[in-house]
Chain A
Amino acid sequence: MSPLKITARLFDGRIATTDGYLPIDSILAAAWMKRYHPEKYYNADPTIDEMITPVLPLAKLDGDIYAASFAQFRKAGEETAYWHKRFDAQLAEDYVNFAGRRGRVNTTSATYKAYRMPLNVILTPEVVWYVVGEKAETESLLEEIPSLGKKTSQGFGQVFEWTVEEIGQDWSVWKDGQLMRNLPDPDGDAEWGVRPPYWLPANIVRCRMP
Chain B
Amino acid sequence: MNIKLDGIFTMLAPLSHIGMSIGPDSYLNTVTIIDPHGKPCEVFCYTGNAWRGQLRDMGAKYLLNKLGAKLPLELFYLLFSGGAIGGTQSIDIDQGRRYRQVLPFFSIFGGGVGNQILPGKMNIGPSYPMGKEVQHLLPEELRNPEAKSWKTWTTEQSFTRKDDAKDDNLAKFLQTAQERAAITGELFTAEEKPKKEKKDAPQQMRYTQELLAAGSRLYHRITLKDFTELELGAFVSCLTQFAEAPYIGGQSRKGDGLCSLDYEMTIDGEKQDFVTVHPEKVLPSPLAAEAKKNYDRFLQDMYDNYLIENKQDLVKLMEAGVQ
A-B pairs with beta carbons under 8 Å apart, 13 shown: A11-B221, A34-B225, A42-B121, A76-B39, A91-B60, A91-B80, A95-B64, A95-B76, A96-B72, A97-B70, A123-B33, A153-B124, A155-B48
A residues adjacent to B (C-beta < 8 A)? 10-14, 34, 38, 41-44, 46, 76-77, 79, 81, 83-88, 91-92, 95-99, 105, 110-112, 123-125, 143-144, 146-147, 151-156, 158, 160
Residues of B within 8 A of A44 (CB): 93, 116-119
Q: Decide yes or no whether B102 CB sits under 8 A from chain A.
A: no
Residues of A within 8 A of B61 (CB): 91, 95
Residues of A within 8 A of B128 (CB): 12
Q: Is the CB of B33 within 8 A of A43?
A: no
Q: Is the CB of A77 within 8 A of B32?
A: yes
Q: Is the CB of B125 within 8 A of A158?
A: yes
Residue of B nearest to A104 (CB): B73
Size of B's binding interface in residues, CB under 8 A: 56
Q: Is the CB of A83 within 8 A of B221?
A: no
Q: Shortest Cβ distance from A74 into chain B, in angstroms? A: 9
Q: Decide yes or no whether B208 CB sits under 8 A from chain A.
A: no
Residue of A nearest to B223 (CB): A146
Residues of A within 8 A of B220 (CB): 155
Beyond the given pairs A44-B118, A123-B40, 9 more chain A to chain B contacts, judged by CB atoms under 8 angstroms and listed by A's residue number, are A14-B33, A85-B82, A87-B81, A97-B72, A123-B34, A143-B2, A155-B47, A155-B48, A155-B221
Q: Shortest Cβ distance from B259 into chain A, in angstroms? A: 18
Residues of B within 8 A of A14 (CB): 31-33
Given contacts A92-B73, A155-B221, A146 and B2 within 8 Å (CB-CB): yes
Given contacts A11-B125, A155-B125, A42 and B100 within 8 Å (CB-CB): yes
Mark out the residues of chain B between 110 and 143 whose CB falls within 8 Å of any chain A CB in the assembled complex: 110, 116-126, 128, 134, 137
Chain B CB within 10 Å — which of A43, A98, A143, A155 has the most? Answer: A155
Q: Is the CB of A95 within 8 A of B60?
A: yes
The 9 tightest CB contacts between A and B, nearest first, are: A13-B34, A155-B48, A155-B125, A97-B70, A146-B223, A154-B48, A12-B33, A77-B40, A154-B49
Q: Is the CB of A153 within 8 A of B120?
A: yes
B residues adjacent to A (C-beta < 8 A)? 2, 4, 31-34, 38-40, 47-49, 52-53, 57, 60-61, 64, 70-74, 76-77, 80-82, 84, 87, 89, 93, 97, 100, 107, 110, 116-126, 128, 134, 137, 220-221, 223, 225-226, 319
Q: Shortest Cβ distance from B107 into chain A, in angstroms? A: 8
Residues of A within 8 A of B40 (CB): 76-77, 123
Given contacts A77-B40, A85-B82, A110-B87, A155 and B126 within 8 Å (CB-CB): yes
Query: Once bound together, how far apart are the Cα atoms of A154 and B36, in whole Å?
Result: 22
Given contacts A11-B221, A155-B123, A42 and B73 within 8 Å (CB-CB): no
Chain B CB within 10 Å — which of A10, A41, A76 has the most? Answer: A76
Query: Once bound together, how far apart are the Cα atoms of A143 and B97, in whole Å?
Result: 26
Residue of A nearest to B114 (CB): A44
Chain A CB within 10 Å — which of B31, B107, B319 has the most? Answer: B31
Residue of A nearest to B37 (CB): A125
Residues of B within 8 A of A95 (CB): 60-61, 64, 70-71, 76, 80
Residue of B nearest to A124 (CB): B34
Q: Is the CB of A87 within 8 A of B77?
A: yes
Query: Once bound together, how far apart are the Cα atoms of A147 and B224, in whole Å?
Result: 12
Residues of B within 8 A of A98 (CB): 73
Residues of B within 8 A of A46 (CB): 116
Residues of B within 8 A of A96 (CB): 70-73, 76
Query: Once bound together, how far apart are the Cα atoms of A95 and B110, in whole Å?
Result: 19
Residues of A within 8 A of B64 (CB): 95
Q: Is the CB of B76 within 8 A of A92?
A: yes
Q: Is the CB of A88 within 8 A of B57?
A: yes
Residues of A within 8 A of B82 (CB): 85
Query: Once bound together, how far apart are the Cα atoms of A10 and B2, in whole Å?
Result: 17
Chain A CB within 10 Å — which of B60, B93, B123, B137 has the most? Answer: B123
